Amino acid sequence: MTKKKTNQGVEILAIGTELLLGNILNSNAKWLAEQLALIGLSHYRQTVVGDNIERLKEIVLEASQRSHILITTGGLGPTMDDLTTETIAQAFKADLVEHKAILQDIKNKLNNLDIFPESNLKQSLLPEGATILPNPLGTAPGMIWSPEDNFTIITFPGVPSEMKIMWKKTAKPWILENHASGKIIKSKTIKIAGIPESALTERISDLITKTNPTIAPYASLGEVKLRITAQAKTAQEANKLIQPIESELEKRIGLSIFGRDEESLASIVIDLLRKRRETIALAESCTGGQIASSLTSIPGSSDVFLGGVVAYSNSIKQNILKVPLNLLEEHGAVSSAVAKSMANKTRQLFNSDWSIAVSGIAGPSGGSQGKPVGLVEIFISGNTAQESIQENFGPHRGRDYIQKLSVVRALDRLRLFLLMQS
Amino acid sequence: MTKKKTNQGVEILAIGTELLLGNILNSNAKWLAEQLALIGLSHYRQTVVGDNIERLKEIVLEASQRSHILITTGGLGPTMDDLTTETIAQAFKADLVEHKAILQDIKNKLNNLDIFPESNLKQSLLPEGATILPNPLGTAPGMIWSPEDNFTIITFPGVPSEMKIMWKKTAKPWILENHASGKIIKSKTIKIAGIPESALTERISDLITKTNPTIAPYASLGEVKLRITAQAKTAQEANKLIQPIESELEKRIGLSIFGRDEESLASIVIDLLRKRRETIALAESCTGGQIASSLTSIPGSSDVFLGGVVAYSNSIKQNILKVPLNLLEEHGAVSSAVAKSMANKTRQLFNSDWSIAVSGIAGPSGGSQGKPVGLVEIFISGNTAQESIQENFGPHRGRDYIQKLSVVRALDRLRLFLLMQS
């Protein structure tokens, strides 16, 4: 009774009311999606459903109409609202069979308990014909079960560590043996700052229509990512497809590419400074410590980052950074002159090779005709070189946006500035 | 042509091949799920689909059979693989109509560009009859569209900051006005720090079984929220249901309740200081500016926050904060003695009423037998009172966790400390 399927791929179904209430992120689906991509299995849909028998049954039956493999996470525990196994069995009108091996395994794992908990008993039941998917860490085994020709259900518990080891030890080898596509999918992400998404995509519009590899843009605050994805028989072949595209992007976008894959502006700036064996210190006004936070979120940042002053009030700019009073009075705190003084004094105070100062009006109040909310002065200071940058991010996108974009811009300008220094 | 629906609720559909490839977490679905829970709308299913016209169409039509509202995220950008709007229009055989207002808004937002990018043009097209869901931050507006009786689609871009502000400003008010069940649902969130979720829920287990109002706990990093939700005919009646529960919670949880609804630890600490007309300064080592960032993210924080020093290296602790060398040598940077000295010197340096110093080992490296990764020293210093706090968050949950939990703990202990000062 082989059916005509619409999608012919894999689906992931995460089961748990806590996901529908927004209590937790569906990190299991992300992880499994990545694993499926790595072994080249097509995966077209992810679903989340609560701990509800009727709705779960409905989704499992839908999936059997369109896909070859349904991977589920969650609902295998011992409590009343863990109902994945029995509901799937019901959906295909199968009986549950007790597995002595599971019972024994649970007994071993609960060896501190004198009495076998009634509630764990149901974890030893699987639909007739299902294979145990062993759980080396917890009491909840999964299963691999084909209730129909051409349709297999693989169940995992929701606990990420258990799900991951079960995938690696049993599920992935089973899939590779039974559903090998012969192809793998590999991605590389190119990260860009300083160019709006629309302008960028116009510059590479001919490349975006390609099919292997594909190129897809994703915009986030102040950054654009281009994801290059190739299908091939081996990782080496996939890399050979990705490489010329990456070179072409480098040619067209140049220095606006700041990093790849897991790299961030902060990690790149730290790497650049580490290679130069140079240090940096910060004077932050409107960004209020966010540049420091961003740098210190990177392990090993202490190699190059000495510290900073969050000079939020004018008196601190004057008393700690020693910005001359006449500069503050003549130009105002948000001025190129004051940013320059803040940067230079910070470099002296911390005895660092470089410093950045940021002073701006993040709003919502504090703006004026000449100095509107969104105006930000950035100054980069070094022994032999310096740069003054003025940005106007506008008032409309709010305080959080102005602060975050100031961080991106300061780190990106420092990056470009360091690249120019030989 | 009202249909018999199976689920009668809301569904969330996230659109983007990057989600199916496991490149990013579906944090938008989590956030929206939480928002739906907060306004008491039933939400039964979440789906993820790639940037694929046929599969997207299929899912949208499925959703129209079972739900009243479909909320989508993603696919509203200017690039070729952004195909949400046109695919939804196709699914319901509707024409696209150009909206001059959107065109003008995009022009304003791209005011640095000389030529209007061709690719942005399509963002001004919506299906006939759709209402613009304005995007105050980016060029991608969403829409609110009812292609059939009893079925409404609300589209959001995938950029979280844009999606969130569009929800708050337009989508949520629309939903509250148009999908009220004759009853209103009112929620109040009680925020708690310093008690683990399991201990807290045991203390209030009898209240959690109530039905109107309901009480639901949500745990996040270092905090637990208790959401009290009441259904009633009027807001006044709902408040009457919520009020006695809130009083009961206050009685049982006491001072560990730090705030309500939109309040945060940072906003509460700033309010407390403002009422006392007192100021604060910071000396941050392992938190690297995150406490300062947290305080300065609050508008008006400059009333009480003077600034801080991110003293990441020992030499800065010595040279700028003037921590005596013998203290550093004898006790080490992560010690109560050094934290105390950092706090006292910072209070002098900034001439503030209060100061907090934090010094700890965020890892992954830098730990030792006596001072393991996860050890954090916090010191609160004032003119007439001071407090030393030692925390050990353990090494297993990583750098980010240790830094963030240090911020929560420092602000919460300051809050409790200020409440004790009369």
Q: Which residues contact B202 (CB under 8 A, 6 or more apart)?
A: none
Q: Which residues contact B105 (CB under 8 A, 6 or more apart)?
A: B134, B139, B141
Cα A396 to Cα A207: distance, rounded to the nearest angstrom: 34
Q: Which of A27, A44, A397 is facing B25, going by the closest CB pair?
A: A27
Tokens of B415: 């809050």
Cα B133 to Cα B120: distance, rounded to the nearest angstrom: 17
pTM check: above 0.90: no
Cα A280 to Cα A266: distance, rounded to the nearest angstrom: 12
pLDDT value for A342: 97
Residue of B20, B105, B187 for testing the chain A interface, max A β-carbons within 10 Å: B20
Distance from the Cα of A404 to chain B's closest Cα (Å) equals 10
- Calculate helix-pair angle for A84-91, A53-66, nearest 10 degrees: 60
Judged by average pLDDT, the poorest of A354-368, B1-15, B43-57 is: B1-15
Q: Collect all residues of chain A within an 8 Å Cβ-Cβ radius of residue B289.
A: 284, 289-293, 296, 308, 310
φ, ψ at A295 (rounded to 5°):
-70, -45
Distance from the Cα of A226 to chain B's closest Cα (Å) equals 11
Distance from the Cα of B94 to chain A's closest Cα (Å) equals 25
> Cβ B19–A33 below 8 Å, yes or no?
yes
> Cβ B307–A316 below 8 Å, yes or no?
yes
Q: Which of A45, A315, A319 is facing B48, going by the closest CB pair?
A: A45
Distance from the Cα of A99 to chain B's closest Cα (Å) equals 32
Q: Which residues contact A296 (CB under 8 A, 6 or more apart)?
A: A302, A305, B287, B288, B289, B290, B310, B312, B403
Asked if residue A241 lies in contact with residue A183, where contact means CB atoms within 8 angstroms, the answer is: no
> Cβ B288–A288 below 8 Å, yes or no?
no
Tokens of A240: 């050979």
φ, ψ at B160 (rounded to 5°):
-55, -45
Cβ–Cβ pairs < 8 A, chains A and B: 283
Report which of residues A78 and B378 the model is more confident about: B378
> Cβ A46–B137 below 8 Å, yes or no?
no
DSSP structural state of residue B41:
-
Q: Which of B24, B118, B316 is facing A350, going by the closest CB pair?
A: B316
- Calculate helix-pair angle for A265-275, A398-420, nearest 10 degrees: 30
Closest CA to B65 of B1, B130, B4: B4
DSSP structural state of residue B352:
-
Exposure string for A266-301, b = 16+ CB within 10 A, e = fewer? bbbbbbbbeeeebbbbbbbbbbbbbbbbbbbbbbeb
φ, ψ at B172 (rounded to 5°):
-60, -50
Cα A323 to Cα A340: distance, rounded to the nearest angstrom: 9
Closest CA to A286 of B410, B307, B408, B26: B307
- How many CB atoms sit inside 10 A of residue B1's CB? 5
pLDDT value for B2: 45
Angle at A96 between CA A95 and CA A99, to 5 degrees: 140
Asked if residue A192 lies in contact with residue A185, where contact means CB atoms within 8 angstroms, the answer is: no
Residues facing residue A358 across a β-bridge: A284, A378
Domains of chain A: 10-179 (3.40.980.10), 184-260 (3.30.70.2860), 265-420 (3.90.950.20)
Tell me the pLDDT tens digit for each residue of B207-236.
877 889 988 777 778 888 888 888 887 889
- How many CB atoms sit inside 10 A of residue A177's CB? 8
B143-165: average pLDDT: 95
Q: Collect all residues of chain A within an 8 Å Cβ-Cβ radius of residue B49.
A: 44-45
Residue of A310, A352, A399 for testing the chain B interface, max B β-carbons within 10 Å: A310
Cα B292 to Cα A290: distance, rounded to the nearest angstrom: 8
> Cβ A308–B289 below 8 Å, yes or no?
yes
Cα B142 to Cα B73: distance, rounded to the nearest angstrom: 9
> Cβ A219–B6 below 8 Å, yes or no?
no
- Calculate helix-pair angle for B53-66, B84-91, nearest 10 degrees: 60
Angle at A167 between CA A164 and CA A170, to 5 degrees: 140
> Cβ B29–A24 below 8 Å, yes or no?
no
Closest CA to B408 of B332, B356, B367, B373: B356
Q: Collect all residues of chain B within an 8 Å Cβ-Cβ radius of residue A299.
A: 363-365, 399
Residue of B309, B346, B361 for testing the chain A interface, max A β-carbons within 10 Å: B309
Asked if residue A306 lies in contact with residue A280, where contact means CB atoms within 8 angstroms, the answer is: yes
Asked if residue A271 lies in contact with residue A303, where contact means CB atoms within 8 angstroms, the answer is: no
Coil/strand/helix, residue A130 = coil
Coil/strand/helix, residue A157 = coil
- Calculate helix-pair angle for B265-276, B398-420, nearest 10 degrees: 30
Closest CA to A94 of A155, A145, A152, A156: A145
Q: List per-residue pLDDT tens for chain A, 422 residues long.
A: 444 566 678 999 999 988 988 878 999 999 999 888 877 788 999 999 998 999 999 999 999 999 999 999 999 988 777 899 999 999 999 999 999 999 888 888 776 556 777 778 889 999 999 999 999 888 889 999 999 988 999 999 998 888 999 999 999 999 988 876 677 778 899 999 999 888 898 899 899 888 899 888 877 788 998 989 888 888 899 999 999 999 999 999 999 999 999 899 999 999 999 999 999 999 999 999 999 999 999 999 999 999 999 998 888 898 899 999 999 999 999 999 999 999 999 999 999 999 999 999 998 888 888 899 999 999 999 988 999 999 999 887 789 889 999 999 999 999 999 999 86
> Cβ A30–B26 below 8 Å, yes or no?
yes
pLDDT value for B87: 97
Backbone angle region of A368, left / alpha / beta, with phi > 0 → left and psi within -120 to 50 → alpha: beta
Distance from the Cα of A17 to chain B's closest Cα (Å) equals 9
> Cβ A26–B23 below 8 Å, yes or no?
no
Residues facing residue B258 across a β-bridge: none
- How many CB atoms sit inside 10 A of residue B271's CB? 17
Sheet holding A223-232, edge to edge: A214-220, A223-232, A184-193, A257-260
Q: Which residues contact B100 (CB under 8 A, 6 or more apart)?
A: B124
